[in-house]
A and B are shown apart, each in its own frame.
Chain A
Amino acid sequence: GENVEQHPSTLSVQEGDSAVIKCTYSDSASNYFPWYKQELGKRPQLIIDIRSNVGEKKDQRIAVTLNKTAKHFSLHITETQPEDSAVYFCAAPGGSQGNLIFGKGTKLSVKP
């Protein structure tokens, strides 16, 4: 089945700096890679996703890049703000292709 590794587990940046979170996956057939944000005590929510027919997707300050050859994808947050502080999870389709397997998460702290 799919195995998703996520790094780093914690990340602290100054407000205005960029943050990068990386994930690798094992199943070369995987074709959908979302990123979820979970604020403390809240539910995870999708912030951006990418399908394997594109290499990069951007939405304002958030971008995701995909390297299918190397089987890794990354989340980039530019001009970070304190409200970006949260846990971020990457994911990839599971064995049945109908569910998602999540990474262990990255706790991002943005210091004002």
Chain B
Amino acid sequence: NAGVMQNPRHLVRRRGQEARLRCSPMKGHSHVYWYRQLPEEGLKFMVYLQKENIIDESGMPKERFSAEFPKEGPSILRIQQVVRGDSAAYFCASSPGLGPLIGELFFGEGSRLTVL
């Protein structure tokens, strides 16, 4: 059973460009989470999605950031008009979402975005 797959692992963008980060959850998992990690800092929650639904986006910046988890295909975190402050590691995690209790989150290896 393959783990959570994220791509690209490394992405370099110039200021003003768009960044698209993709995440395929573990097989059988229907819940996806995106976290941002700045150097030497913790994991900051951004958004929690189920298939075709955004459940909680309280950690997402109001502008330039969006996320989706379509019925088919990976979850995508999109950052428009990137700025240097967007440089970070973006981690995706998934869970099976069985029942009302949260359990273990399985993390991908992360996508490291560098904005020049």
Number of A-B contacts (CB under 8 A): 65
Closest residue of chain B to A31, judged by CB? Answer: B101
Interface size range on A against B: 20 to 34
A95 to chain B, nearest CB (A): 7
Mask of A35-68 contacts with B, CB within 8 angstroms, 1/0:
0000000111110010100000000000000000
Residues of B within 8 A of A46 (CB): 104-105
- The reply to whether B100 and A97 contact each other, CB–CB distance below 8 Å, is yes
Which applies to chain B's interface (DSSP): helix, strand, loop or mixed? Answer: loop
Mask of A70-95 contacts with B, CB within 8 angstroms, 1/0:
00000000000000000001000111
Interface residue count for B (Cβ, 8 Å)? Answer: 24
> Which one of A45, A97, A98 has the greatest number of beta carbons of chain B within 10 Å?
A98
- Which A residues contact B (CB, under 8 angstroms)? 1, 6, 31-32, 34, 42-46, 49, 51, 89, 93-105
